[in-house]
């Protein structure tokens, strides 16, 4: 089993971060993908074996009513707002995917994360658009990671991930691990973003990392072959370093 530990975003200078970890999840692409020259600079300054995962642009997953759109660098006309988010089969959504995919190519990313908002409920229209998007999208050797929220049932998440070839993403302190060859965990803080993980928490996380999975499908292995633990809290840098040390024994 291979375990990779990192942060969601750069909580310290990139130079300092590169010396401490070998993977980061880029957050800027969610709000507004940066210019290609900026992305290329990130790739060139990082060590050759450094890995970038990234979040897809919010125009794919979130509707314009989301407060996260405040950080968008252009204004969407009122008449066009219905075309954005929730994986809708529109030119706007596909253009947002092409922009995200281009950043992933420059960074040589293996992982692209689709974080859905709580409002993306498992109704028939959402599931139809969701399925159509992932059946159509060209993956180009990338793994597509889906982080559902709240109302999606475990069985349905497992079924969709297997059917659409997705990697499920969870916060392991709030949910049971899901059967998949690859585990992608985002750690949002047990009580929220300002939470600092205790040594006891990280020891528990170590047990989760070694957790044998139930075999829900003949195609599903009994344990992970690769796991990502990505910290996404105020103390992410310190907590990730401590967890790295614990996992190293």
Kindly give the confidence (pLDDT) of every residue in the chain, 249 residues in length, as a single tens digit, with 9 standing for 90 and above.
789 999 999 999 999 999 999 999 999 999 999 999 999 999 999 999 999 999 999 999 999 999 999 999 999 999 999 999 999 999 999 999 999 999 999 999 999 999 999 999 999 999 999 999 999 998 888 999 999 987 899 999 999 999 999 999 999 898 877 777 889 999 999 999 999 999 999 999 998 887 655 444 444 445 578 899 999 999 999 999 999 999 998
Chain-centre distance of CA 89, in angstroms? 22
> How far from each other are the two terminal CA atoms of the chain, in whole angstroms?
15
Q: 167 near 161, Cβ under 8 Å?
A: yes
The predicted structure's pLDDT at residue 219 = 46
Length of the chain, please?
249
Rounded distance, CA 193 to CA 204, Å?
Answer: 19
Q: What's the CATH code of the domain at 159?
A: 3.20.20.410
237 φ, ψ (degrees, to nearest 5):
-65, -50
Q: Is the entire prediction scored with pTM above 0.95?
A: no
Total domains in the fold of the chain: 1
Per-residue pLDDT tens digits for 59-98: 999 999 999 999 999 999 999 999 999 999 999 999 999 9
Q: 70 lies in which domain range?
A: 2-247
The predicted structure's pLDDT at residue 140 = 82
Stretch (H or E) spanning 56: none
Helices (H), 46-147: 58-61, 91-107, 124-136
The predicted structure's pLDDT at residue 107 = 97
């Amino acid at each position: 089993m291979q375990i990779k530990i990192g942060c969601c975003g750069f909580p310290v200078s990139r130079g300092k971060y590169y010396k401490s970890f070998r993977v980061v999840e880029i957050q800027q692409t969610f709000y507004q993908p940066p210019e290609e020259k900026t992305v290329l600079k990130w790739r060139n300054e990082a060590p050759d074996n450094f890995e970038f995962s990234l979040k897809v642009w919010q125009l794919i997953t979130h509707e314009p009513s989301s407060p996260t759109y405040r950080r968008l660098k252009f204004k969407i006309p009122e008449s066009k707002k219905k075309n954005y988010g929730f994986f809708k089969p529109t030119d706007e959504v596909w253009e947002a995917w092409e922009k995200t995919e281009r950043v992933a190519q420059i960074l040589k990313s293996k992982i692209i994360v689709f974080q859905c908002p709580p409002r993306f409920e498992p109704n028939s229209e959402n599931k139809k658009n969701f399925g159509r998007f992932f059946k159509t999208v060209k993956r180009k050797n990338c793994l597509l990671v889906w982080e559902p929220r709240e109302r999606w049932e475990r069985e349905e998440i497992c079924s969709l991930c297997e059917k659409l070839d997705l990697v499920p993403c969870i916060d392991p302190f709030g949910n049971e691990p899901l059967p998949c060859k690859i585990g992608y965990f985002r750690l949002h803080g047990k009580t929220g973003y300002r939470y600092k993980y205790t040594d006891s928490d990280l020891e528990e996380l170590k047990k989760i990392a070694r957790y044998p999975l139930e075999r829900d499908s003949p195609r599903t292995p009994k344990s992970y072959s690769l796991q990502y633990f990505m910290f996404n809290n105020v103390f992410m840098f310190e907590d990730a370093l401590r967890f790295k040390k614990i996992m190293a024994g």
